[in-house]
Amino acid sequence: MGLLQWEKRYSVGIEAVDHEHRELVDLINRLHEKATTQGSKVSVLGFFGDLYKAISAHFALEERFMREKGYDQLSQHKNDHERLLDEVRDIMEDYEVNDLFDEKLLAQRLDAWFSRHFESHDARLHRALGDH
């Protein structure tokens, strides 16, 4: 069983966006598997890097779309994106420096973010502006 499971509450109701979000959940679960099965430090850091790049790319596309459409909540949405990226970077740096992987902390942070961000910011964005 993976670290996170896709739940209906994460859905924004737009299949293409939900698909991309499911891919992020899958990448998080692959990172978790690698880190908890004694994967090499290099491979675990590689997965962290892949996760960070995938999340960053997803956020950049969302933010571009919000700017193009004049979305009134861009600043708040972008701030939430930056907060998650900071948290992922902090977890990655802790692992790199200390060889520590706190799966409970990662699960707690990501589940809280997915739940809150998907249900509030992403759902509102896609209701207001539609698919991108």
For each of the domains in the chain, give its residue range(s) and CATH number, in order of start. 15-129 (1.20.120.50)
DSSP-derived letter for residue 13 is: S
Specify the residue for token string 């994106």: 81
Q: Is the pLDDT of residue 109 over 80?
A: no
- Give tens-digit pLDDT for 25-75: 888 888 878 777 766 778 888 888 988 999 898 888 888 888 888 989 999
Query: What band does 79 get if pLDDT is binned at 50, 70 and 90?
Result: very high
24 touches 4 (CB < 8 A): no
Tokens of 64: 């571009």
- pLDDT reported for residue 100: 66
Per-residue pLDDT band for 130 (boundaries 50, 70, 90) equals: low
Backbone angles phi, psi at 46, to 5 degrees: -60, -40
Q: Kindly indicate the confidence band of residue 6, based on its pLDDT and cuts at 50, 70 and 90.
A: confident
